[in-house]
Structure 1
Amino acid sequence: MGSVGDAYDNAVAESFFATLETELIDRHSWRTRADARLAVFDFIEAFYNPHRRHRFIGHLSPAEFERRYRSAQPPAA
């Protein structure tokens, strides 16, 4: 952790919210708050988490990383 007001402390959160705004919020409008809430949930669970590439896992998406991992495992007995 850095000092108070250190911008690097929330770099990951800021990056996520920038992506959320650019790829979802700025492109749509919703009739109700519940519709918007559901759209954000769907974005996180259905797109952002399984499909966004991550540097930590070799610039693969979590879905692709898991697919490769499972295919490299020996068959269960």
Structure 2
Amino acid sequence: NSVRPSMSRKGNCWDNAVAESFFSNLKNEVMYDRLFASRDEGKAVVGDYIEKYYNTRRLHQTLGYQTPAAVDAAYRVPK
């Protein structure tokens, strides 16, 4: 499938920490103990989780306990 793994040098354990944290949260908060009737239903649930909760309401430690939407809005304010 022409997929290349993300690899860092030995000792750089933080390389994919944010992505791994996201997928852990997704699995624990949405996917745990749940079966979807179709792939489209799964895509819709994941999309809703990201757009309606993860980006707009869930506070992130790496963003100073703000939401991604709040950080993005502050970044886009003209100076």
Provide the TM-score with structure 1 as the length reference: 0.67
Aligned to 2:41: 35
Aligned to 2:57: 51
Number of equivalences = 66
SS in 2 for 1:17: helix
Higher helix proportion (structure 1 or 2): 1
Equivalent residues of 1:53, 1:59 under 8 A apart: yes
Aligned to 2:22: 16
How many angstroms does 1:32 deviate by?
0.4
Provide the TM-score with structure 2 as the length reference: 0.65
Aligned to 1:26: 32
Unaligned residue ranges in structure 1 (runs of 5+): 70-77
SS in 1 for 2:16: helix
Moved more, 8-17 or 50-59: 50-59
Unaligned residue ranges in structure 2 (runs of 5+): 1-6, 75-79
- Cα RMSD (Å): 2.6
Paired amino acid for 1:15 = S
Identity, in percent, stands at 38
